[in-house]
Amino acid sequence: MNLKGMYPPITTPFLDEEIDLEGLARNVSRWMQTGLSGLVVLGSNGEAPLVDDDELEWVVATARQGVPRDRQLIAGTARQSTRATIRATRVAATAGADAVLVQTPHFFKTQMTADALVSYYQAVADASPVPVILYSFAPLTGVQLQPATVRRLAEHPNIVGLKESNGDMAQVADHVTQAPPGFGVLVGAAATLYASLCLGASGGILAVACVVPELCVRLHRAASEGRHQEALELQRRLTPLARSVTTVYGVPGLKAAMDLAGYVGGAPRLPLLPASDSAREAIRSQLVALEELAEAGDTL
């Protein structure tokens, strides 16, 4: 499995607190008209912790209908217990996922030693019908996947890559250096995408790619093809919006940006509240700035 390029961790649209499968299908269809390598359903940006277990199957199956077999459909299936993660992984695989993205368990942070994490991921990878992608997001979860742990896990034939969202360039460099051939290192912190690609990362799973997929794809291509100046300039333009739809305004901000960009965004599930009017205004200005560049001859 070749993890390379840009993947949006797509949102889960809701209507009156229920999943809007039709809206989901519409979004997927539009993303598949761009140069994205695939997409991720039910990651953090898909509000996975707010989605019930019996809804997982429908989200994956609906996305699968829109994602052709030559692009990758990845499903987030991490739960806090090993057995629940395995159960969700099997459901996702059956429903059509090409791979699963599994965040470190983290509720019992201090107990998540390297040994506990290795044993967790090995059990999941042994049981999973599809390849497993590791996922470390320490600023959110308080749990680190150290490079040495990733190296041990990368030996498992069913573990094929890593999503690294810590924004720590030294760790990205370590992961890339130590990875066996074919092991994908995807970054999750958009503001460091270009720097990470310089260091050898193979792509990214970025919230902002839900909103401006072509801009992200172009940045990845520019960096891959050695057009460093262009990549740096695209990074500079991407960063403000990327921050708005993650650290600044969160999933509600991401959904607001999608609404403004013509996707089905909508309200998040409670207890998340919709983006405030001022958040929406700030995001609108950032989008307008990007669009003006596009009209001046640039594709977003």
Would you tell me which residues interact with a copy of itself (CB under 8 A)? 17, 44, 49-53, 80-84, 105, 107-113, 115-117, 119-120, 123, 140, 167-170, 173-174, 177, 189, 191-192, 194-196, 198-200, 226, 228, 232, 235-236, 239, 243, 247, 250-252, 269-273
Q: Say if residue 271 is preceded by a cis peptide, omega within 30 of 0.
A: yes
Smaller CB distance to a copy of itself: residue 26 or 106? 106
Alpha helices in 73-146 (DSSP H): 82-94, 114-127, 138-141
Smaller CB distance to a copy of itself: residue 34 or 146? 146
Task: Determine the 3-state secondary structure of 175 from DSSP.
Answer: helix
- Which residues, in sequence order, are bridge partners of residue 14? 19
**Whole-angstrom Cα distance, residue 226 to residue 148?**
30
Smaller CB distance to a copy of itself: residue 67 or 100? 100
Smaller CB distance to a copy of itself: residue 271 or 297? 271
Write phi, then psi, for 191 (nearest 5 degrees): -65, -15
CB of 19 vs a copy of itself, minimal distance in Å: 12
Closest by Cα among 279, 294, 194 to 236: 194
Neighbours of 109 (CB within 10 A): 13
The residues that are catalytic are: 163
CB of 271 vs a copy of itself, minimal distance in Å: 4
CB-based contacts of 50-53 (< 8 A; 24+ apart in sequence):
50/268, 50/269, 50/272, 51/12, 51/19, 51/269, 53/84, 53/87, 53/88, 53/91
| Burial class of residue 225, CB neighbours in 10 A (0-12, 13-18, 19+) | exposed
Smaller CB distance to a copy of itself: residue 26 or 243? 243
The pair of structure tokens assigned to 273 is 């509240």
Neighbours of 284 (CB within 10 A): 14
